[in-house]
Amino acid sequence: MECPSKLYYTGKKDQYYDSKLDDEFLKSLAEGGFQVGELAKRYFPGGYDIEDLEYETAINKTNDYLLRENVILYEAAFRFENLFIRADIIIKSGDHIQLIEVKAKSFDPAKDSFMGKKGGILSNWLPYLQDAAFQRYVIQNAYPGLKVQANLMLTDKSQVASVDGLNQLFLLYKEGNRQRCKYTGAENIESLGNRLLKIVPIDTEVEFIFSKTSPDFQQLIHQFEGSYATDEFIEPVFGKQCGKCEFKVTGEISELKSGFHECWQSGGHSLDDLKQPLVLDLWDFRKKDQAIGSGKVFLKDLSLEDIEPAKKTAWENPWLSRVARQELQINKVKNKDHSQYLDKEALGNEMATWQFPLHFIDFETTAVAIPFNSGRRPYEQVAFQFSHHQVHKDGTIEHKGEWINTVMGQFPNYDFVRALKKELETDNGTIFRYANHENTILNKIYDQLKSSNEIDKVELCAWIQTITHSTDSSTEEWVGHRDMVDLLEMVKHYYYDPLMGGSNSIKKVLPAILATSDFLKAKYSKPIYGTEIKSLNFKDHIWVNLDDSGGVFNPYSLLPSVHPGISNDMLDDFMLDEDADIMDGGAAMIAYARMQFTEMGDTERERIKQALLRYCELDTMAMVMIYEAWKNWCK
């Protein structure tokens, strides 16, 4: 349904690169999806698990169990013609089957709805409902004598966990090449406390999908079935969805073919053409479909009218507006201009207002489906780590402090903010973050503290207000006198380099700045970090390393991976939203999840902890290096 052309590449992992093979596992690991699936089974005890991977065996076992009058099955297998599914939970009662599709997606019964105000299904729910609709269709046709009712089972955000350590009762382990989850708690349902998963009937939405959506859903199913069975390539419809294609090969992967490139070649574009920047690469561009639909595939084909027809000029602010930044990116491509843009005067004026010592902070956080502690809701924010660099007026740099929680099942937020307060309260120096994440997290902790019984909550809340501003969801309004400065906003307003490729992620900005700053190259090509510059995790470290062509290696790519066999870059990319700038940190989320949910020895736990400390330290050191380059360029 995302893109029918993907059917041709799907299931050919030995031929075509497919990032989703890792992405779905990683997302489930980061958010606790494996635990949600196992918890759902606990709510329906006494069932039979169809564990067989071989299709025929799984189908035969399912058929045998369904001969019973009443039975509960997990991962039951169904086939109708060339359609095959595995259902999360099946409850058979006489001639009635209840299909329960479990999703680690949050749902608030008092607020959320699947249908929009205009009558259609909301786009953020449509894939989940189409999935369940397809499953119901297969089961109903495989067993036409039974009545099938479809349900989603979702994490209920209105519920509060009433059991401490519930999450840690579901541990991940490897069985061969399969990731499994086992429950280690008591067998009685009461020991699980409040029900955190809610069954939501969706037959109305399923009927809508089959009867009121265009093109016809049933017809599409059989069209796709035929194409898949005969290995027929369905001609692509090009659009913004191509930007997130899981079959796109990057320069790091050469042994597998790129479905993305084959699709665009089928549209008449050569591989040499596709080396040019595409419309898909334009930062925060909201009219990709219109541009591609009108035949404008490459950035060089776009004009200001394509971006914002109503605007007379994009340069109407004293800094780069969104449209002006897009126009700048396009013009750099058109003119083959590889130079950076830097508004030295405006940036210099901003920098002149900053007060020493300067503090650069970065948080690592997670939000999991099953809370770690009682009193917490599904997907509440958990802050488990920070790093803090400090720059003094004389230019001295030091990794001033850090904090990390690695204890399984511990709610760290209050100790986290106490440690952060201790780091930052000794002076009135300017505090920097990269993107709005740190402000959002401190607002969340502020709300958690207000409803807590912590004896120092008033003091902690008052301090949080000094370095933050309230968000749209806050019940109060404030702007702290030391409200953190967002370096991402500085990048958006005053700095652009074509090497960033349209991204403002710090993982793209840092290597671009290292590649163009002679000052940084000269300074950090020497082993001074961890000796002349104080570091808590590095010794004699060199940040600027050149490749054979004289280019600078991305420092993030040289850090030890937090997950075996997968680079940190790939872990971050799977969490990255192309239209947002804040979804760095996927590697840290995965590492923390592994320490919380996986059976591992002390040696492996310590290895991951050390990798996390280095990773977070680089985030704040990256901010320092960006600051240093700007200071040098602005004099």
Q: CA 532 to CA 395: how far, in whole Å?
A: 12
Query: Is residue 343 assigned to a domain?
Result: no
Residue 175 has pLDDT above 90, yes or no: no
Residue 457 lies inside a defined structural domain of this protein: yes
Q: How confident is the model at residue 33 (pLDDT cuts 50, 70, 90)?
A: confident
Q: Alpha-carbon distance 90 to 242, whole Å?
A: 35
Residue 216 has a pLDDT of: 92
- Tell me, yes or no, whether 412 and 540 share the same domain: no
**Residue 14 and residue 255: Cα distance in Å, rounded?**
9
**Mean pLDDT on 358-387:** 92
Considering the domain architecture, whether residues 292 and 432 belong to the same structural domain is answered as no
- What is the per-residue pLDDT for 580? 39
pLDDT score, position 23: 59
Angle at 327 between CA 326 and CA 330, to 5 degrees: 90
Q: What is the mean pLDDT of residues 422-435?
A: 97
Residue-level pLDDT at 601: 80
- What distance lies between CA 169 and its chain's CA centroid? 25
- pLDDT for 312 equals 47
Same-domain pairing of 204 and 250 = no
pLDDT at 549: 78
- pLDDT of 102 > 70? The answer is yes
In tens, the pLDDT along 434-487 reads: 999 999 999 999 999 999 999 999 999 999 999 999 998 888 999 999 999 999
Asked if pLDDT for residue 378 goes beyond 80, the answer is yes
Query: How would you write 14-61 as a 3-class SS string?
Result: CCECCCHHHHHHHHHHHHCHHHHHHHHHHCCCCCEECCCCCHHHHHHH
User: Which residues are within 8 A (CB) of 116 and not within 5 positions of it... i.e. 6 or more apart?
Assistant: 122
Residue that terminates a domain, selected from 486, 505, 535? 486
Find the distance separating the first CA and the last CA of the chain, reported in whole Å.
Answer: 54
Element (H, E) at 102: strand 96-107
Structure-token pair, residue 426? 């000794």
Rounded to an integer, the average pLDDT of 60-74 is 97
Shared-domain flag, residues 188 and 78 = yes
Residue predicted with more confidence, 188 or 364: 364
**Is 476 found in the same domain as 494?**
no
- 1 is a domain residue: no
Structure tokens given for 574? 């799977």
Yes or no: say if 8 and 34 are a contact pair by the CB < 8 Å rule: no
- pLDDT of the residue at 581: 37
**Does 159 lie in the same domain as 122?**
yes
Q: Contact, 151 vs 99, CB < 8 A? A: yes
Work out the pLDDT band at 270, boundaries 50, 70, 90: very high
More confident residue, 137 or 24: 137
User: Does the residue 25 lie in any domain?
Assistant: no
Supply the mean pLDDT for the chain.
Answer: 90
Structure tokens at 1: 């349904």
Question: Is 581 among the domain residues?
Answer: yes
Is the bond leading into 357 cis (omega within 30 degrees of zero)? yes
pLDDT band, residue 603 (cuts 50/70/90): confident
148 shares its domain with 52: yes
Q: Give the pLDDT confidence score for residue 21 in this predicted structure.
A: 67
Q: Looking at the 3D structure of the chain, how many domains does it have?
A: 5
More confident residue, 169 or 579: 169
Reply yes or no on whether the pLDDT at 181 is more than 50. yes
Q: Domain ends where: 435, 463, 486? A: 486
Residue 118, pLDDT score:
84
pLDDT at 314: 47
Lowest mean pLDDT among 248-257, 528-537, 562-571: 562-571
Confidence at residue 358, expressed as pLDDT on a 0 to 100 scale: 98
What pLDDT shows up at residue 568? 59
Say whether both 144 and 221 belong to one domain: yes
On whether the CB atoms of residues 576 and 556 are closer than 8 A, the answer is no
DSSP string, 234-283: PPP--SGGGGG-TT---TT--SSB-HHHHHHHHTT--TTGGGSPBGGGST
pLDDT score of 334: 94
User: Exposed, middle or buried, 7 (CB in 10 Å: 0-12/13-18/19+)?
Assistant: middle
Confidence category of residue 576, pLDDT binned at 50, 70, 90: very low
Mean pLDDT of 170-175: 80
Q: Is residue 3 part of a domain?
A: no
CB 48 within 8 A of CB 70: no
Q: What is the pLDDT of residues 197-239, one digit of tens each?
A: 999 999 999 999 999 888 899 999 999 999 999 999 999 999 9
**What mean pLDDT do residues 249-256 have?**
74
Same domain (yes/no): 167, 286: no
More confident of the two residues 411 and 429: 429
Beta strands 197-201 and 178-183 are: unpaired
- Residue 333 in domain: yes
- The rounded distance, in Å, linking the Cα atoms of 238 and 184 is 48
Note down the domain range covering 320: 278-337
Res. 282: pLDDT tops 60: yes
Mean pLDDT of 342-349: 94
Residues 323, 443: one domain?
A: no
> What's the confidence (pLDDT) of residue 437?
93
Strands (E), 345-404: 358-366, 382-391, 397-404
Q: Are residues 72 and 143 in the same domain?
A: yes
Higher pLDDT, 76 or 186: 76
More confidently predicted of 139 and 407: 139
Domain boundary among 467, 486, 505: 486
Chain segment 288-323, per-residue pLDDT in tens? 999 999 999 999 999 888 887 655 454 456 678 888
Distance CA 148, CA 141 (A): 10
Sorted by sequence, the CB contacts under 8 Å of residue 96 that are 6+ apart come out as 146, 147, 149
- Percent of the chain clearing pLDDT 90 (strictly above): 69
Whether 584 shows a pLDDT value over 70: the answer reads: no
Residue at 26 is within a domain:
no
Q: How confident is the model at residue 40 (pLDDT cuts 50, 70, 90)?
A: very high
- Quickly state the pLDDT bin for 364 (edges 50, 70, 90): very high
Q: Please, what is the angle between helix 568-575 and helix 20-31, to 10°?
A: 80
Q: Convert the pLDDT of each residue in 387-420 to its tens digit.
A: 999 999 999 999 999 999 988 878 899 999 999 9
158 CA to centre of own chain: 23
Give alpha helix (H) positions in 425-505: 437-450, 457-467, 487-494
Residues 65 and 171 in one domain: yes
